[in-house]
Amino acid sequence: MLIRRASPDDADLLHEVGEVTVAAYASFLLGPSDPYVPRLRDARARADEAELWVAGSDEHPHGRSEVLGSVTLCPPGSPWREIAAEGEGEFRMLAVAPGAQGQGVGGALVEHVLERCREAGDAAVVLSSLPQMGDAHRLYARHGFVRVPERDWSPVPSVHLVVFRRPL
């Protein structure tokens, strides 16, 4: 598996990342008309306004690797950054292709984010998650994240997000 940063110019890759992200979140959405679907699908904006990291399979014989997952790292000043305080890194939209779940892709992406945040000099990393994303919560716990319920929040009245934090 290779992890690389996507460029806003990677049209085919960004389209595939958007579709994988929607597929990974499908069971948590209200269906194809859920208002969050366009945001999940907009990998180009994440690549342009934050750091979009993509995990791909080893190259296929035809020269292109399959998108296994992605994560958005939200540096200071990014409009994708929502909850990080000074000295904290933040990531969001960790997505693993349904066919690649359980194969270590999510863990590799989390470790990549932790390393990038260490390199940036962050003291901790934070993220928001839906309460029903139990598999993701177990992944975060395995990587040292703990719940910080005092930082839970709602981006819109009908959506409650729980917050996790990991010191570095």
**Domain locations in the chain?**
2-167
pLDDT tens track for 27-44: 999 988 899 999 999 999
Q: Which CATH code of 3.90.78.10, 3.40.50.2300, 3.40.630.30, 3.40.190.290 fits the domain covering 2-167?
A: 3.40.630.30
Give the torsion through C-alpha atoms of 76, 80, 82, 85, to 10 deg.
-10
Q: d(Cα 140, Cα 125) in Å, to the nearest integer?
A: 11
pLDDT tens track for 86-142: 999 999 999 999 999 999 999 999 999 999 999 999 999 999 999 999 999 999 999
Continuous segment of H or E residues that includes residue 63? none
Among 129, 55, 67, 140, smallest CA distance to 92 is for 129
Q: pLDDT grade, residue 62 (50/70/90)? A: low
Q: What is the pTM of this model?
A: 0.94
pLDDT reported for residue 134: 96
**pLDDT-above-70 percentage for the chain:** 96
Q: pLDDT grade, residue 73 (50/70/90)? A: very high
Q: Is residue 65's pLDDT more than 90?
A: no
pLDDT reported for residue 31: 86
pLDDT reported for residue 57: 86
